[in-house]
Amino acid sequence: MADPLDMRSAVAEYVTALHRSYLAQADTFPPAVRGAMPLLTGGPLTVAAVGARNLHLLATREALGPLRGQEVSLDGSLPGLAWSLRFYDPVVTPSLGLVDERDAPAYAEVKHALGVTTVAYHVVAQPGSGLTPHHAGHVGSGLAARHSSAARDFEAIRSRVRGREGLVDELVGAASAGLPRAQALLARAIAPHNAAVLALADAPDPDPDEVRRALLDSVGGRRDWTPKAPR
């Protein structure tokens, strides 16, 4: 896999398999749930394949500008989803050479090196056994399951916070863009008196799934919930 052309081909195949699995899983959901999933909301999608110590794959709807210097781009598509795959390494983007991944993948630092602030997904793939269509299929289906679960949770939350629907819509946007702190702050605005939500909003690195679950619990959870009788 030392040949750059072979590596690019392997990465392109991996991304296609990931997206194919995502779409297959999405097809099992109702149309409104599919339409709320971050990869299916429309608009140009770019997948950045970033070679640091680890191989990062970031899907974003932010524009990365025209190709410059030694940058390479490959277009890919499946029914219902199209994307551009662009490749970056320390030669193309020198700041990547300063990213320290000796202990763990540096997600935030890689995003910063590209100047990307919002992502639809950000995964790390290992060359070799971790960079196969089979592995990509598991990643894609898992990603779709998380995205669909979030869509259902947000719909349940929205139906129960009358007068604060606009805040929930902003929360959905922040979740689709991959902005965890914005999600925590919006959750606090929606449920300002819930202890679990407040604790997550004050956390230095809030987990978006925990924020969503805490907010959902604060309005009764997804199952066996009935609205309070009017006074």
- pLDDT at res. 52: 85
One domain for residues 130 and 72: yes
Q: Let me know if residue 104 belongs to a domain.
A: yes
Q: In what side-by-side order are the strands of the sheet with 55-60? A: 72-78, 81-88, 46-51, 55-60, 121-125
One domain for residues 69 and 170: no
- pLDDT at res. 114: 93
Note down the domain range covering 170.
Answer: 159-218
- Over the chain (231 residues), the average pLDDT of each successive run of 10 is 80 96 93 87 92 92 90 94 95 89 89 92 80 92 90 89 94 87 95 95 92 93 51 41
- pLDDT at res. 141: 95
One domain for residues 111 and 176: no
How many distinct structural domains can be found in the chain? 2
One domain for residues 117 and 9: yes
Q: Let me know if residue 167 belongs to a domain.
A: yes
One domain for residues 10 and 107: yes
DSSP state of 91: T
Residue 130 burial class via C-beta count within 10 angstroms: exposed 0-12, middle 13-18, buried 19 and up: middle
One domain for residues 175 and 69: no
Q: Let me know if residue 70 belongs to a domain.
A: yes
Indicate the pTM of the whole model: 0.78
One domain for residues 99 and 187: no
One domain for residues 133 and 185: no
Amino acid sitting at position 2 = A
CA 81 to chain centre: 15
Residue ending a domain, among 81, 108, 143, is: 143
